[in-house]
């Protein structure tokens, strides 16, 4: 999906937004995108893009392995010192390079999952991320993770918010946003 196309409603968003009519103040969603696994990335992106479509104010705090997902697909090695470089070498960053947490089978598992998704008209994690961003979902990177892994702003995809810490995330929750740790 490119941004110029008319928005295609994928089968992952099959229903009209029922929440909007039933109550007056949606307090929003505060997702911690912690995992870098393909299937959890998918789950986080489906929830984020659906929340965006339902006009729930949604923030996604991207941390630990999850931050690797938001490194640009064309960046191969990140970090300043050999430890940071080795970590990015062992686990290729980027949303298009996520692996399954199980049944990976040297890439065959993810290939099958992506093939099945296409067959059943389910949007890919990358497409869902683009949709979510278009619909106002804010993705914010964790400053501490950036420091520890040596990941810089220019390594990350465009459109992300300024790096923040756990206190900012908890302030969303303190203000009533529903927390999800994925």
Binding range to its own copies, per CB under 8 A, among 67-75, 79-87, 132-140, 152-160: 79-87
- C-alpha triplet 14, 15, 18: angle, nearest 5°: 160
Size of the site for its own copies (CB under 8 A): 67
Residues 13-52 that bind its own copies (CB under 8 A): 13-19, 22-23, 26-27, 29, 32, 34, 39-40, 42-43, 46-47, 50-51
Cβ distance to its own copies smaller for residue 52 or 133: 52
Cβ distance to its own copies smaller for residue 132 or 156: 132
Instruction: Using the CB atoms, write b or e for 14-24: b if 16+ within 10 Å.
Output: eeeeeeeeeee
Tokens coding 40: 């959890």
Residues 29 and 55: beta-carbon distance below 8 Å: no
Work out whether 143 is an interface residue with its own copies (CB under 8 A). Answer: yes
Measured from the CB of residue 5, what is the shortest distance to its own copies in angstroms?
A: 21
The DSSP code for 142 is: B
Cβ distance to its own copies smaller for residue 159 or 179: 179
Interaxial angle between packed helices 108-119 and 38-53, expressed in degrees from 0 to 180 and rounded to the nearest 10: 30
Work out whether 175 is an interface residue with its own copies (CB under 8 A). Answer: yes
Query: What is the edge-to-edge ordering of all strands in the sheet holding 58-62?
Result: 138-141, 58-62, 29-33, 178-181
Tokens coding 165: 């810490």
Task: Enumerate binding residues for its own copies (CB under 8 A).
Answer: 11-19, 22-23, 26-27, 29, 32, 34, 39-40, 42-43, 46-47, 50-51, 53-54, 56, 63-65, 83-84, 86-87, 90-91, 102-103, 112-113, 115-117, 120, 122, 143-144, 147-149, 164-171, 173-176, 178-182
């Amino acid at each position: 999906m490119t941004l110029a196309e008319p928005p295609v409603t994928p089968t992952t968003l099959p229903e009209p937004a029922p929440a909007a009519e039933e109550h007056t103040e949606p307090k929003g969603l505060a997702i911690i995108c912690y995992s870098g696994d393909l299937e959890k990335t998918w789950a986080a992106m489906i929830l984020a893009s659906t929340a965006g479509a339902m006009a729930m104010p949604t923030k996604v705090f991207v941390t630990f392995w999850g931050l690797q997902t938001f490194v640009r697909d064309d960046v191969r090695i990140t970090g300043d010192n050999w430890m940071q470089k080795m970590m990015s070498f062992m686990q290729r960053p980027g949303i298009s390079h996520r692996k399954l947490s199980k049944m990976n089978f040297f890439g065959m598992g993810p290939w099958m999952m992506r093939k099945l998704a296409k067959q059943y008209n389910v949007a890919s994690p990358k497409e869902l991320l683009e949709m979510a961003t278009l619909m106002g979902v804010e993705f914010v990177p964790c400053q501490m993770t950036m420091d520890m892994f040596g990941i810089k702003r220019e390594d990350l995809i465009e459109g992300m918010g300024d790096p923040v810490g756990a206190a900012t995330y908890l302030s969303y929750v303190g203000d009533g946003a529903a927390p999800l740790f994925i």
